[in-house]
Amino acid sequence: MNNNIKTELWKQFGASIDMFENAIAKCPDEIWDDGRNFWYIAYHTLFFLDYYLDTEPDNFMPPKPFTESENEIDEVMPERTYTKDELLSYVKHCRIKAHDLIAGFTDDSAQARWKNQYRSYPMVEMQLYNMRHVMHHTGQLNLMLGMIDHNLPIWVSQTKTNL
């Protein structure tokens, strides 16, 4: 795969992860688990960010302490509320995984199928879908933050992390 395309894809995907991380970091303790589901939306986003980055989705397992609750048909909530520090750690895990996946793209691996029972996309398209999913939920989190503080996390044009 063309190195320029990989670099540009990473700059934008990395920026979406950076913006998502900024929203989590800015969340005050009083709304983390107050019924608005801030923590849960953040967890849901990270779970699927990680899952969609996986080249073998049928064998996907999130890192500990996270569970496969998001993959349950009945949409089971996790057994406990995850902390901000736990989710910020999960962001770091996902950023590394996204970086390494994109850096390693070849023509063949970028076109390999990401496939589960609902979707079958080329891996590169799956990552564009993944990036849109992250930004969708970043918008939700920023909306919640904006309702209590108009000083929202900054817009990130490009990630500062090199490919």
Domain 3-29+40-146 CATH (choose: 1.10.260.40, 1.20.120.450, 2.40.160.40, 1.10.3720.10)? 1.20.120.450
- Residue-level pLDDT at 71: 79
Mean pLDDT of 1-7: 95
Q: How far apart are the first and last CA of the chain?
A: 14
- For 153, which DSSP code? P
- Give the confidence band of 107 by pLDDT, cuts at 50, 70, 90: very high
> Pick the residue with more confidence: 160 or 68?
160
State whether residue 26 is helix, strand or coil: helix
Residue 136 in this model has a pLDDT that exceeds 70: yes
Q: What is the pLDDT of residues 36-90, one digit of tens each?
A: 899 999 999 999 999 999 999 999 999 999 988 887 666 778 989 999 999 999 9
Pick from 78, 57, 23: nearest CA to 130: 57
Q: Where are the domains positioned within the chain?
A: 3-29+40-146
Maximum distance among all Cα pairs of the chain, rounded to whole angstroms = 47
**Cβ–Cβ under 8 Å, residues 141 and 52:** no
- Residue-level pLDDT at 74: 64
